[in-house]
């Protein structure tokens, strides 16, 4: 193990380092080392990508170690141009890496030998093989006279984002669900390089997934702060953590409402739905936008929490808490609701680990994975957060986890507000930066636990300090696979509650 780690570079969440400090390994050595490091339960891959620079394709792998709060960076390179490029697959040994290798294959045409299924990820406009279009994607087929297929999408029967779900069914039972995405692709990663201004890039980060504005923009701001050597004061850290937890509480509450809708529990739909409104209206009162657009900026904030806003936040949480509890006590003890959620769409602990779920989709199945706890950022390093872990991995677990996380987040915000060091001082948040001097030939990795789970952003700069690669990873990259598994051997009519219980991002995945 010690020798292994010598061949990697260990950094902390949000840290930037010179690219030359990352050891460049032979692929064989890289392959063996990744497999070896991932033997440990507490190590998982948070990003693995490639980018072209000076005729060389450089691969960066980021493995997060929950024991040390460290992120190991490993690298290998490949000459581009000429000939079919082949590498031995890592997915062959570790299923959770399937998505990263598929992405690299889709972008650069690298064949990963032994990968079980090099299936397109999102049909990006700059993909290696432009011939195959998203609308012509050949879905997995099972030939049998007994079976039929149900295709849904890209446009769904609701005010939601587009994607295609293909069910292979035996009567009412789902044998297999395949999800293909890509319809939402806007070219975010490319635009992050092409649009030169910091403000443009910040707004792009806000738009990666508009329902996770705070989560993604915070990950972006911390990458930029890492690369430009800015350290923010604890007041700003505290405000960021509050914004992140408010986003979590609001979305979780809305999701509980939506789950009630799908089992026709109208009282729950109406009351939880109405409870979300004052939360997002508070965010609007704070920064002028119900989703927090404008709130998170690099190096500072335009909207420091005033004493009046702090008092209103306390009142809001007090009021929300008893109303939420009153409704939840009912909604979580109704037999008719429980009966629809219990033991439906189970993803076992073993499956969750195999496919590498993150965030809620991990914690529902007993996988303790929470960046706030394992790689703390903002005020989470000062005031620890203890993750909520459930075991069953069914719809009920996802429904119940939201309730518990809401309660934890309320407690957490109160702890932050009560911390005299942050809020009784005169200090306010600094003014945001407008121009940054990014350190040349550097890389920064930033992770944030958004409400869906682990968000990871990486940026790489060239000799002039210009960003040459920006990599975004939304937690949905891992978790869509969990939805597919949930549907196995389930009635197709249970799809909506399963889909709602995950509430994954299409645009965060499609970028």
Instruction: Give 152 or 417: the residue with its C-beta nearer to another protein.
Output: 152
- Crossing angle of helices 234-262 and 213-228, in 10° steps, is 150
Q: Please give the helix or strand (H or E) that residue 89 lies within, else none.
A: none
Report CA-CA distances (Å) from 3 to 33, 67, 77, 90, 365: 10, 17, 21, 21, 33
Q: Choose which of 86, 141, 148, 197 interacts with another protein (CB under 8 A).
A: 197
Q: Choose which of 58, 166, 252, 293 interacts with another protein (CB under 8 A).
A: 293
- What does residue 393 show for φ and ψ, rounded to 5 degrees? 70, 15
- 7-15, 291-299, 449-457, 459-467 -> range binding another protein (CB under 8 A): 291-299
Give the nearest distance from C-beta 326 to another protein in angstroms: 6
87 Rama sector, left if φ>0, alpha if ψ -120 to 50, beta otherwise: beta
Q: What is the largest CA-CA distance in the chain?
A: 73
Could you say whether residue 195 binds another protein (CB under 8 A)? Answer: yes
Contacts of 439 (CB under 8 A, 6+ apart): 16, 18, 227, 228, 229, 461, 465
In the chain, DSSP finds a helix count (H) and a strand count (E) of 18, 15
Could you say whether residue 368 binds another protein (CB under 8 A)? Answer: no
Instruction: Give 356 or 508: the residue with its C-beta nearer to another protein.
Output: 508
Q: Choose which of 282, 291, 396, 509 interacts with another protein (CB under 8 A).
A: 291
Could you say whether residue 384 binds another protein (CB under 8 A)? Answer: no
Could you say whether residue 244 binds another protein (CB under 8 A)? Answer: no
Could you say whether residue 123 binds another protein (CB under 8 A)? Answer: yes
Contacts of 176 (CB under 8 A, 6+ apart): 140, 142, 167, 168, 484, 488
Instruction: Give 65 or 103: the residue with its C-beta nearer to another protein.
Output: 103
Give the nearest distance from C-beta 193 to another protein in angstroms: 12
Instruction: Give 267 or 424: the residue with its C-beta nearer to another protein.
Output: 267
Contacts of 221 (CB under 8 A, 6+ apart): 202, 205, 296, 297, 298, 299
Give the nearest distance from C-beta 116 to another protein in angstroms: 25
Instruction: Give 323 or 368: the residue with its C-beta nearer to another protein.
Output: 323
Instruction: Give 326 or 418: the residue with its C-beta nearer to another protein.
Output: 326
Q: Please give the helix or strand (H or E) that residue 436 lies within, else none.
A: none
Q: Please give the helix or strand (H or E) that residue 28 lies within, else none.
A: helix 27-37
Q: Choose which of 56, 132, 150, 155 interacts with another protein (CB under 8 A).
A: 155
Give the nearest distance from C-beta 159 to another protein in angstroms: 5
* Residue 458 structure tokens: 């990486």
Could you say whether residue 125 binds another protein (CB under 8 A)? Answer: yes
Give the nearest distance from C-beta 233 to another protein in angstroms: 20
Instruction: Give 299 or 356: the residue with its C-beta nearer to another protein.
Output: 299
Q: Choose which of 120, 124, 215, 453 interacts with another protein (CB under 8 A).
A: 124
Could you say whether residue 9 binds another protein (CB under 8 A)? Answer: no
- 93-101, 119-127, 435-443, 476-484 -> range binding another protein (CB under 8 A): 119-127
Q: Which 3-state string (H, E, C) describes 47-76? A: EEEEEEECCEEEEEEEEEECCCCEEEEEEE
DSSP classification of residue 358: -
Q: Which 296-325 residues touch another protein, going by CB under 8 A?
A: 302, 323
Q: Which residue has the tokens 């953590």?
A: 241
Q: How far is CA 457 from the centre of its chain?
A: 10
Could you say whether residue 129 binds another protein (CB under 8 A)? Answer: no
Distance CA 126, CA 108 (A): 9
Give the nearest distance from C-beta 268 to another protein in angstroms: 10
- 4-12, 74-82, 283-291, 494-502 -> range binding another protein (CB under 8 A): 283-291
- What does residue 38 show for φ and ψ, rounded to 5 degrees? -80, 0
Residues across the chain: 511
Q: Choose which of 120, 294, 356, 393 interacts with another protein (CB under 8 A).
A: 294
Q: Interface mask (CB under 8 A) for another protein, residues 202-241, using x and -?
A: -xx--xxxxx-x----------------------------
Q: Please give the helix or strand (H or E) that residue 78 lies within, else none.
A: strand 70-79
Q: Choose which of 132, 142, 160, 264 interacts with another protein (CB under 8 A).
A: 160
Distance CA 58, CA 457 (A): 17
- 7-15, 97-105, 107-115, 265-273 -> range binding another protein (CB under 8 A): 265-273
Distance CA 327, CA 318 (A): 15
Could you say whether residue 290 binds another protein (CB under 8 A)? Answer: yes
Distance CA 231, CA 242 (A): 18
118 in Cβ contact with 91 (< 8 Å): no
Could you give the 3-state DSSP secondary structure of residue 232?
coil
Distance CA 24, CA 8 (A): 9
Could you say whether residue 504 binds another protein (CB under 8 A)? Answer: no
Could you say whether residue 339 binds another protein (CB under 8 A)? Answer: no
Could you say whether residue 162 binds another protein (CB under 8 A)? Answer: yes
Binding-site ranges for another protein (CB under 8 A)? 123-126, 133-135, 154-155, 157-162, 182-187, 190-191, 194-195, 197, 199-200, 203-204, 207-211, 213, 254, 267, 270-271, 273-274, 277, 284-285, 287-291, 293-294, 302, 323, 326-327, 330, 505-507, 510
């Amino acid at each position: 193990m010690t020798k292994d780690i010598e061949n990697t570079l260990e950094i902390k969440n949000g840290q930037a380092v010179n690219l030359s400090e990352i050891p460049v390994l032979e692929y064989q050595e890289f392959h063996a080392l990744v497999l070896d490091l991932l033997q440990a339960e507490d190590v998982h891959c948070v990003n693995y990508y490639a980018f072209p620079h000076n005729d060389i394709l450089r691969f960066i792998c980021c493995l997060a170690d929950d024991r040390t709060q460290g992120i190991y960076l490993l690298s290998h390179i490949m000459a581009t141009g000429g000939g079919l490029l082949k590498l031995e697959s890592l997915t062959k040994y570790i299923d959770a890496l399937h998505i990263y290798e598929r992405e690299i294959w889709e972008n650069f045409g690298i064949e990963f030998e032994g990968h079980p299924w090099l299936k397109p990820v999102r049909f990006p406009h700059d993909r290696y093989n432009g011939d195959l279009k998203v609308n012509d994607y050949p879905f997995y087929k099972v030939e049998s006279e007994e079976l039929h297929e149900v295709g849904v999408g890209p446009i769904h029967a609701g005010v939601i984002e587009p994607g295609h779900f293909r069910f292979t069914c035996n009567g009412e039972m789902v044998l297999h669900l395949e999800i293909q995405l890509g319809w939402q692709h806007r070219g975010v990663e490319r635009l992050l390089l092409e649009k030169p201004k910091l403000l443009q890039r910040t707004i792009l980060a806000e738009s990666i997934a508009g329902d996770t504005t705070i989560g993604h923009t915070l990950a972006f701001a911390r990458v930029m702060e890492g690369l430009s050597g800015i350290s923010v004061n604890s007041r700003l850290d505290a405000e960021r953590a509050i914004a992140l937890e408010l986003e979590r509480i609001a979305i979780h509450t809305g999701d509980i409402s939506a789950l009630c809708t799908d089992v026709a529990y109208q009282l729950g739909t109406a009351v939880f739905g109405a409870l979300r409104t004052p939360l997002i209206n508070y965010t609007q009162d704070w920064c002028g936008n119900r989703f927090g657009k404008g709130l998170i900026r690099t190096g500072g904030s335009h909207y420091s929490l005033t004493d009046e806003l702090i008092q209103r936040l306390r009142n809001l949480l007090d009021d929300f808490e008893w109303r939420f509890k009153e409704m939840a006590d009912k909604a979580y003890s109704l037999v008719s609701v429980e009966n629809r959620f219990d033991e439906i769409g189970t993803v076992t602990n073993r499956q969750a680990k195999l496919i590498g779920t993150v965030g809620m989709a991990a914690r529902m199945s007993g996988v303790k994975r929470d960046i706030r706890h394992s790689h703390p950022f903002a005020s989470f390093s000062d005031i620890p957060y203890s993750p909520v872990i459930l075991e069953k991995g069914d719809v009920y677990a996802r429904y119940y986890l939201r309730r518990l996380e809401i309660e934890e987040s309320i407690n957490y915000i109160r702890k932050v507000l009560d911390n005299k060091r942050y809020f009784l001082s005169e200090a306010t948040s600094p003014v945001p930066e407008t121009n940054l001097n990014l350190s040349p030939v550097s890389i920064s990795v930033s992770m944030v636990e958004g409400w869906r789970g682990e968000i990871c952003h990486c940026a790489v700069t060239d000799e002039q300090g210009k960003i040459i690669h920006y990599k975004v990873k939304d937690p949905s990259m891992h978790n869509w696979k969990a939805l597919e598994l949930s549907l196995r051997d389930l009635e197709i009519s249970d799809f909506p509650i399963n889909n709602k219980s995950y509430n994954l991002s299409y645009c965060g995945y499609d970028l």
